[in-house]
Amino acid sequence: MASNRRALVTGASAGIGEAFARELARRGFDVVLTARRTDRLEALAAELRERHAIEAIVAPLDLARTDAAEALVAALGDQGLHIDVLINNAGYGLTGYLDEQPWEAHAAFIQVMMAAPTELAWRLLPGMKARGYGRIVNVASLAGLVPGSAGHTLYGASKAYLIRFSQSLALEAAGTGVHVTALCPGFTYSEFHDVNGARPLVSKMPGYMWMDAATVAREGLDAVEAGKPVYVNGRMNRFIKWLFKVLPDGLALKMTERQGRRFRVRRERGGQG
């Protein structure tokens, strides 16, 4: 059981983020839960307090704001709260071709998916190093390990960034007591595909391609505790990673494009998934 250790979970109101919050609380960590949906955060916090007798703090926040990470860390500091575990989970999908969305939508996506997790790690890492203990999990995706596909222009790119960022940060933190892991799940049961409108399409995937969020979170915490810089959830996903690594680039790209057509959601200009 953790003692006097606290975890910050972004995107904690549903899906993998909620599962991380539950698993951390089960392991005895106090938690700070952040997302945009205050009602869901408060309900989850109340449940975790009652079930696990831990401290659960709700910090509603929109990470699309460029000042969000700084404001959150400052607020925690003002309360004398340090963070030992950072779960960078907040994210969403932005469907459609690059020029079908206004730049403001892309800028917000880049802020949430890349800038915010990087800044949170940058702001919290010094304290972790000073205390000789820290865990950072950047929730990436199998999509960051396979060729890009049309219609989700920035999604795979943002996840590939998180993977490389995590590898570099893990090397930089070696010997300090801080572990960093890029977690790479594949299809996971959550609200993600409902939000971006892809549910009818991804529902065509066979059951063996799917994992539950609780398993993804549990394996993610085990992986970062073991000091693994990159962890891919599920045997099938690990096989897919291996396959695209050994295939010639041209063939791999064609296979990704062919598969991507099955799950492509097109949006009118100005829409957001």
Burial 91-116 (b: 16+ CB within 10 A, else e): bbbbbbeeebbeeebeebbbbbbbbb
Is the Cβ–Cβ distance between 122 and 169 less than 8 Å? no
pLDDT of residue 210: 65
Extract the tokens encoding 125: 């890492």
161 is known as an active-site residue: no
Of 77, 39, 41, residue with least CA distance to 31: 41
263-272 residue pLDDT tens: 555 443 333 2
Longest Cα pair distance anywhere in the chain, in angstroms?
A: 54
> Helix 116-131 to helix 155-172 angle, to the nearest 10 degrees?
20
pLDDT at 75 over 70: yes
| Per-residue pLDDT tens over the stretch 204-246 | 555 656 689 999 999 999 999 999 999 999 888 988 889 988 9
**155, 161, 189, 208: which one is catalytic?**
155
pLDDT confidence tier of residue 254, bands split at 50, 70 and 90:
confident
Dist CA 4 CA 140 (whole Å): 28
Which CATH code is given to the segment(s) 6-263? 3.40.50.720
Give 126-180 pLDDT, tens digit per residue.
999 999 999 999 999 999 999 988 888 999 999 999 999 999 999 999 999 999 9
**β-bridge pairing 30-34 and 134-139:** unpaired
Cα–Cα dist 254/232, whole Å: 23
In whole angstroms, what is the distance from residue 119 CA to residue 125 CA? 10
Name the residue among 8, 12, 120, 19 with its Cα closest to residue 55: 8
